[in-house]
Amino acid sequence: MHIHILGICGTFMGSLAVLAKQLGYRVSGSDANVYPPMSTQLEQQGIVLQEGFQPEHMEPPPDLVIIGNALSRGNPSVEYVLNEGLNYTSGPQWLSQFVLNDKWVLGVAGTHGKTTTSAMLAWMLDYAGMKPGYLIGGVTNNLPMSASMGDSPFFVVEADEYDSAFFDKRSKFVHYAPRTAILNNLEYDHADIFEDLDAIKKQFHHLVRTVPGNGLIIYPHDDPSIEALLQMGCWTPHQRFGIAVPDAVCKKLAMTDGVFWNALIKDKQGSEFELIKYGQGSAGEVTNRTVVSWELTGIHNVKNAMTALAAAHHVGLEIATACHALMEFKGVKRRMELCGVVNGIKVYDDFAHHPTAIKMTLQGMA
């Protein structure tokens, strides 16, 4: 089977190409601009890349065309696919049908922190020898590629709220049906497709509706937008987490939810923190305390780590093993990435573009 991917050099579509290749399909693709690092990763996998969207790139016709959400009507390749009656689908739909259909999906959603949290979670499971599949929207420093089929029932996916394709305006994550769902946070974003925060909440609630009753939803205890979202209806057990939450509050929430995750910051940059798990039981007592010292900084990264820990624990990973993995976590490219030192000044590269993300990144460096 020959699959051609339109928009192949995007992080999501490029990762799909890797998965398709690992499944044994012949894979080619085209994009407006073909450039590293994604082009390098794809070429190393033996995937044929073509620059531009000329219809002749799809001659002879492939068996299936996967169309990226950056492409719209009027694109020469899109028009060719429609005019010639070629089989086509969206990236999220293909992922759902060909990769996730028989997996225990761990979906990482939220306005901020999806890529880093997904990378942490996939690394934890990999470190423990669980051989997870994964699709991460960035280049992680601990794993060889941004995507892998793995060799286990578990699959970690970065669950993005952006739309799926020009012909499917639902958020990508509604296709994934996670059994373990992380909701890191929720703010207004993507003003190009969402009118307001309520429009985003509606899509996130579509995600919540797909999580089975024997699954788990993990979210912060102090995010009013997520609390309001879940008030719209939730049929799945949940666990909450927080930073420096008073002991009495932790116990109360643990008695309500069964488990509560708390963290005490040991230094102002967050490069050392104590993870505290309040466990099952009528009194909500502390069942685990572990100090983590790692390379990352920023309170936002501690929060990312807590959600990843909770998700990993849900699929059977011991807390001690997960924490050891965190201590060896090297981060993700373009997420507070140290590029070098010039005249004693550290130079960082970071992807942050949302005002909150920029603020949290700068606070993590203070």
Token pair 């499971």 is at which residue? 125
Q: Give the number of other CB atoms < 10 A from CB of residue 304.
A: 28
Q: What is the pLDDT of residue 138?
A: 80
Do residues 287 and 318 make contact, with C-beta atoms less than 8 angstroms apart? no
3-state secondary structure of 44: helix
Residues 234-243: b if buried by 16+ CB within 10 A, e if exposed: eebebbbbbb
In degrees, rounded to 5, the angle at the alpha carbon of residue 358 between the alpha carbons of residues 271 and 346 is 55
Pick from 360, 252, 342: nearest CA to 300: 360
- Name 270's Cβ contacts closer than 8 Å, sequence gap at least 6: 296, 297, 298, 299, 301, 302, 364
> Any idea which residue has 């140290």 for tokens?
338
Summary count for the chain: helices (H), strands (E): 11, 19
**Residue 141 token pair:** 């420093």
Confirm if 307 and 120 have CB atoms less than 8 A apart. no
Q: Residue 358: its pLDDT value, please?
A: 59
Q: Which helix (H) or strand (E) holds 339?
A: strand 337-342
Name the phi and psi angles at 28, rounded to 5: -135, 170
Q: Which fold has domain 102-327?
A: UDP-N-acetylmuramoyl-L-alanine:D-glutamate ligase (3.40.1190)
Checking 313-317 for CB contacts under 8 A at 24+ apart, the result is 314/180, 314/216, 314/218, 315/104, 315/106, 315/125, 315/130, 315/154, 315/180, 317/124, 317/125, 317/128, 317/130
In one-letter notation, the amino acid at residue 11 is T
CATH: 3.40.50.300, 3.40.1710.10, 3.40.50.720, 1.10.490.10. Which one for 2-89?
3.40.50.720
> In terms of Cα–Cα distance, which of 50, 142, 120 is closest to 330?
142
Beta strands in 91-162 (DSSP E): 104-109, 133-135, 147-148, 154-158
pLDDT at residue 233, rounded to an integer:
97
Q: Answer whether 2-89 and 102-327 agree in fold.
A: no
C-alpha dihedral (72, 75, 80, 81), degrees to nearest 10: -30
pLDDT tens sequence for the chain (366 residues):
999 999 999 889 999 999 999 999 999 999 998 888 788 889 899 999 999 999 999 999 999 999 999 999 999 999 999 999 999 999 999 999 999 999 999 999 998 889 999 999 999 999 999 999 999 988 788 999 889 999 999 999 999 988 999 999 999 999 999 999 999 989 866 666 668 888 899 999 999 999 999 999 999 999 999 999 999 999 999 999 999 999 999 999 999 999 999 999 998 777 899 999 998 666 789 999 999 999 888 898 999 999 999 999 999 999 999 999 999 998 775 566 666 767 777 676 666 555 555 555 555 555
Q: Where are the domains of the chain?
A: 2-89, 102-327
d(CA 127, CA 62) in angstroms, rounded, equals 38
d(CA 245, CA 263): 8
pLDDT at 96: 98
Q: At what angle do helices 114-127 and 319-327 cross, to 10 degrees?
A: 120
Rg for the chain, CA atoms, rounded: 21
Asked if 283 contacts 251 with a C-beta cutoff of 8 angstroms, the reply is yes
